[in-house]
Amino acid sequence: MPLAVTKGVDVKVVIVGGVAGGMSAATRLRRLNEDAQIVVFERGAHVSFANCGLPYYAGGVIGEREALLLQTPDSLAARFELDVRVRTEVTSIDPDARTVTVRDLVTGVEAVETYDELVLSPGASPIVPDLPGVDRALVLRDVEDVDRLVAALESTARSAVIVGAGFIGIELAENLRRRDLDVTVVELADQVLAPLDPEMAAPVADELRSNGVRIELGTQVASIGTDDVTLTDGRVLPADVVVMAIGVRPESALAVAAGIETGPRGGIAVDEKMRTSAEHVYAVGDAVEKLDAISGQPGLVPLANPANRQGRLVADVISGLPVRPRPVVGTAIVGVFSLMAAAVGWNEKRLRAAGRSYRAIHTHPQSHAGYYPGAQGMSLKLLVDPDTDAILGAQGVGGDGVDKRIDVIATAMVGGITASELADLELAYAPQFGSAKDPVNMLGYIADNLRVGTAATIQWHELDAAGAVLVDVRTPSEFAAGTIPGAVNIELDALRSRAAELPSGEIVVTCQVGQRGHTAARILRQLGCDVRNLDGGYRTWLAGRAHADLLV
Tens-place pLDDT, residues 460-474: 999 988 789 999 999
Fold (CATH) for 457-550:
Oxidized Rhodanese; domain 1 (3.40.250)
Say whether pLDDT at 250 is over 90: yes
Q: How confident is the model at residue 5 (pLDDT cuts 50, 70, 90)?
A: very low
- pLDDT at residue 3, rounded to an integer: 44
pLDDT digits (tens, 9 = 90+) for 290-332: 999 999 999 999 889 999 999 999 999 999 999 998 899 999 9
The answer to whether residues 57 and 150 touch, using CB atoms and an 8 Å cutoff, is yes
What's residue 206's pLDDT? 96
Averaged pLDDT for residues 421-445 = 96
Q: Is 7's pLDDT higher than 70?
A: no
Tell me the average pLDDT of the chain. Answer: 94
Ranges in the chain annotated CATH 3.40.250.10: 457-550
SS3 state of residue 452: helix
What's the pLDDT band for 444 if we cut at 50, 70, 90?
A: very high
Nearest to 292 by CA among 265, 259, 262, 322: 265
The whole-angstrom distance between residue 17's C-alpha and the CA centroid of its chain comes to 23
pLDDT at 4: 46
Count CA within 13 A, CB hemisphere, residue 20: 20
Question: How many CA atoms, within 13 angstroms, populate the side-chain half-sphere of residue 251?
Answer: 19
- Give the contacts of 235 (CB within 8 A, at least 6 positions apart): none
Residue 108 · residue 94 · CB < 8 Å: no
Supply the pLDDT for residue 508: 97
Residue 459 identity: Q
**Does the annotation mark 511 as catalytic?**
yes
Average pLDDT of the residues in 250-263: 96
Query: Average pLDDT in the 135-146 region?
Result: 95
CB atoms within 10 A of CB 405: 25
Q: Count the alpha carbons within 13 Å of 485 in the hemisphere toward its beta carbon.
A: 2
Q: What is the pLDDT of residues 357-389, one digit of tens each?
A: 999 999 999 999 999 999 999 999 999 999 999
How would you list the strands of the sheet with 241-244, edge to edge?
213-217, 182-187, 159-163, 241-244
CA distances from 28 to 42, 180, 205, 209, 313 (A): 18, 43, 42, 45, 9
Q: Under the phi-then-psi rule, with left for phi > 0, alpha for psi from -120 to 50, and beta for the rest, what region is 345?
A: left
Separation of alpha carbons 391 and 448, rounded Å: 12
Whole-Å CA distances, 531 to 442, 538, 549: 21, 17, 28
> 142-161: string of b/e by CB count within 10 Å (b at 16+)?
bbebbeebbebbeeebebbb
What angle, 0 to 180 degrees and rounded to 10, lies between the N-to-C axes of helices 304-318 and 19-32? 30
Which of 301, 356, 350, 293 shows the shortest CA–CA distance to 325? 293
| Kind and range of the H or E run holding 115 | none
Ranking 62-71, 233-242, 327-336 by mean pLDDT, the lowest is 62-71
Distance, CA of 284 to CA of 282 (rounded, Å): 7
Determine contact, residues 455/533, Cβ cutoff 8 Å.
Answer: yes
Q: What is the CATH number of domain 12-123+249-318?
A: 3.50.50.60
Q: Could you list the beta-strand ranges (E) of 290-436.
A: 290-291, 298-299, 332-336, 339-345, 359-363, 378-384, 391-398
> Is the pLDDT at 129 greater than 90, yes or no?
yes
Q: Which of 170, 394, 511, 521 is catalytic?
A: 511
Residue 551's pLDDT band, with cuts at 50, 70 and 90, is low
Average pLDDT over residues 326-353: 96
Residues 156, 178: Cα–Cα separation, whole Å: 16
Ranges for all domains in the chain classified under CATH 3.50.50.60: 12-123+249-318, 134-246, 338-452
Give the pLDDT confidence score for residue 73 in this predicted structure.
Answer: 93
CB 316 within 8 A of CB 284: no
Q: Which CATH class is domain 134-246?
A: alpha beta
**DSSP code of residue 455:** -
Report the CATH fold assignment for 338-452. Answer: FAD/NAD(P)-binding domain (3.50.50)
Cβ atoms 431, 440 nearer than 8 A: no
What was the pLDDT predicted at 543? Answer: 94
Contact 100, 119 (CB under 8 A): no
Q: Is the distance from CB of 338 to CB of 330 less than 8 angstroms?
A: no
Flag whether pLDDT at 552 surpasses 80: no
